[in-house]
Structure 1
Amino acid sequence: MNLFSSTTVAQEPANLKELKVIRGVSSQQRTTHYFHQILAEALYLEGQGSAYKLTPVDFEFSQNRTLKLLNLDNVLDITYSMTSPAREKDFIAIKVPLLNGLYGKRRLLVLADNKLKFEQLSISQLKQLIACQGMHWPDYNRLDANGFSVYGVIDYEANFKMLGKGRCDYFPRGIAEIDLDFKKYNGVYGDLAKVDNIMFVYHAPIYFFVGQHQKKLANIVESGLLQMQDSGRLDQALEQSNAFPFDPNFEKNVRLKIVHLQ
């Protein structure tokens, strides 16, 4: 079932199909590997485990630019992303949620000196401050549409640079991302802290996407994922994975202010 196992050319079936997937940046390797293993299992359940070989390729592009590669032949065959109306129009979304809504729960990462101030803010006061966000991420438009001030950046690490420079006041991160980000970037562009009593919540499923010309592949992957969903395997895989660590007690905080974004 492991589609990443190395084999010699002589061992590979003559009709083996190569599926190009993103390798991902070093800080996201556990996340990327998780999605690829889910993809491999879905293909296996559809009897396609020996028909496809996943080949990671490097793309140092923004999220939106990487997605556009899906509509080109033999460049990028399938990837994962938070959905949006525009993305579902431009590409084929395989509409089986991969993370059970986990990315739709966001905590705030701030400079350490501002932690106490943030924990005393009302929601209306929070809207007067500036969030950092990837300019082409679906989150950017969602925050803007809900009345929050947003500073858009091009690449991922720039969010931390701009936070350190004071260009923005906070960076919303998924509850399963914030600890990893804190560990990697605390002290790099300034001392960071996690706000303990504010969480943004919104509908933000993560789907696999393929190009418009890949309808057959979309149907195969969708069928395998639906089997995993129906059997409880998708939930089990998420619970067993170490790719998305988060504090299960965070949402039990009686002081927690939940901000629902439409």
Structure 2
Amino acid sequence: MKITKWWVGIICWLCLAALANGAQILTVPSYDSDKIDHDSYYFTRLLTLALDKTRPEFGDYELRQPEVVMVDDRLKAALVQGGVDLLWHTSVSLEDARLQAVPVSLLGELSQYRLLLIRSGEQQRFSSISSLAQLRQLTAGVGAQWPGVRVLESNELPMVTATGYPQLFRMLAAGRFDYFPRGIYQIISEVGMYPELDLAIESDLMLSYPNHIYFFVRKGDDRIAERILLGLERARADGEVDALIDSIPRFRWAREELQRGQRRVIPLQSSPQPVAQ
């Protein structure tokens, strides 16, 4: 009993200390943020950078991770309901007006280009394609809840959808569709993710459409939004955002691929919605 009371006392003391210090507690989906090839690696570090830059005005903070892994629509619902305080996502549609974007593009032009993951040995099927009309003769694969579904639909591109990210790689290898469009900053680390599937990066084409990734908070969480905006602006001005991007091999590869400018670009319409404010 004495030990129990002792621990209760310690916990209460820690709680009071946190309150006294005014630490801002933020629950964010930082799953696998220790893995450099996972998207969370970059976005969690970028968030931390922004929060560190604003300690003088907003004080200390603590990042916590949800106990349950949530993605896509479930994650956005958790933000609205208070299960998380922030997420990163492409610009949302009007039905998500309960969310508020921090209006700083987190990846700039890297989020506006897609390369194609295909089956090894099938490059010839793509080498003669130079227009959207020709691309419509093939079928894409995409996650059922991904924003890319709306982009493919608006461009009348045939598609197969599936729930589950790993499943799409296996479906491509099995011939269920012809190509898997991936972010230019994602594909170099994904091509070798399942070596037994024998996939390859298509070498001639690049898809482009207006697209940005933002941090989102709940509508009305102005203090969090203001802090992140100020921190991102400072980090960009200091060159620390570029330094972070350059420290990640797949991001460097994507920038170099854009600079080479040797691919045929097929522009797509995305009918982007206004950034939620």
Tell me, yes or no, whether TM beats 0.5. yes
How far apart are the structure 1 equivalents of 2:220 and 2:142? 31
How far apart are the structure 2 equivalents of 1:212 and 1:154? 28
1:132 is aligned, of 137, 141, 144, to 141
* Counterpart residue identity of residue 153, structure 1: A
**1:261 equivalent in alignment to 2:272:** no
Structure 1 residue 220: Cα displacement: 1.4
Aligned counterpart, 1:19: 26
> 3-state DSSP class of the match of 1:57?
coil
**1:68 equivalent in alignment to 2:77:** yes
Aligned counterpart, 1:5: none
2:118 is aligned, of 110, 113, 132, to 110
**1:204 equivalent in alignment to 2:188:** no
Structure 1 residue 66: Cα displacement: 0.8
Q: Which has the larger radius of gyration?
A: 2
Shifted more, 15-24 versus 130-139: the winner is 15-24
1:221 is aligned, of 225, 228, 231, to 228
Structure 1 pair 177/53, CA: closer, same or farther in 2 (3 Å)? same
**1:153 equivalent in alignment to 2:156:** no
Contact 1:109 1:173 (8 Å CA) reproduced: yes
Contact 1:19 1:55 (8 Å CA) reproduced: yes
How far apart are the structure 2 equivalents of 1:86 and 1:154? 23
How far apart are the structure 1 equivalents of 2:37 and 2:25? 21
Aligned counterpart, 1:191: 198
How far apart are the structure 2 equivalents of 1:255 and 1:101? 17
- RMSD across aligned positions (CA): 2.6
How far apart are the structure 1 equivalents of 2:122 and 2:188? 18
User: What are the superposed Cα offsets for residues 59-112 of structure 1, whole Å, 9 maximum, x if unpaired?
Assistant: 434412211110123x21111111133476231111101111212111100111
> 3-state DSSP class of the match of 1:173?
strand
Structure 1 residue 122: Cα displacement: 3.8
Which residues of structure 2 form unaligned runs of 5+?
Answer: 1-12, 270-277
How far apart are the structure 2 equivalents of 1:93 and 1:65? 18
More helix by share: 2
Contact 1:80 1:209 (8 Å CA) reproduced: yes
* Counterpart residue identity of residue 208, structure 1: F
**What percent identity do the matched residue pairs reach?**
27
Trace 1:72-87 onto structure 2 (pairs within 5 A).
72-73=81-82, 75-86=83-94
Aligned counterpart, 1:55: 64
* Counterpart residue identity of residue 36, structure 1: T
How far apart are the structure 1 equivalents of 2:213 and 2:137? 29
> 3-state DSSP class of the match of 2:191?
helix
Structure 1 residue 119: Cα displacement: 2.0
Aligned counterpart, 1:177: 186
User: What are the superposed Cα offsets for residues 110-160 of structure 1, whole Å, 9 maximum, x if unpaired?
Assistant: 111322222223432221211111122111101210121122222211211
Structure 1 pair 164/25, CA: closer, same or farther in 2 (3 Å)? farther
How far apart are the structure 2 equivalents of 1:229 and 1:249? 20
Contact 1:196 1:250 (8 Å CA) reproduced: no
Shifted more, 81-90 versus 197-206: the winner is 81-90
How far apart are the structure 2 equivalents of 1:12 and 1:228? 27
Contact 2:186 2:250 (8 Å CA) reproduced: no
Structure 1 residue 247: Cα displacement: 5.0
* Counterpart residue identity of residue 194, structure 1: I
Structure 1 residue 253: Cα displacement: 5.7
Structure 1 pair 100/127, CA: closer, same or farther in 2 (3 Å)? same
How far apart are the structure 1 equivalents of 2:61 and 2:213? 23
Structure 1 pair 121/218, CA: closer, same or farther in 2 (3 Å)? same
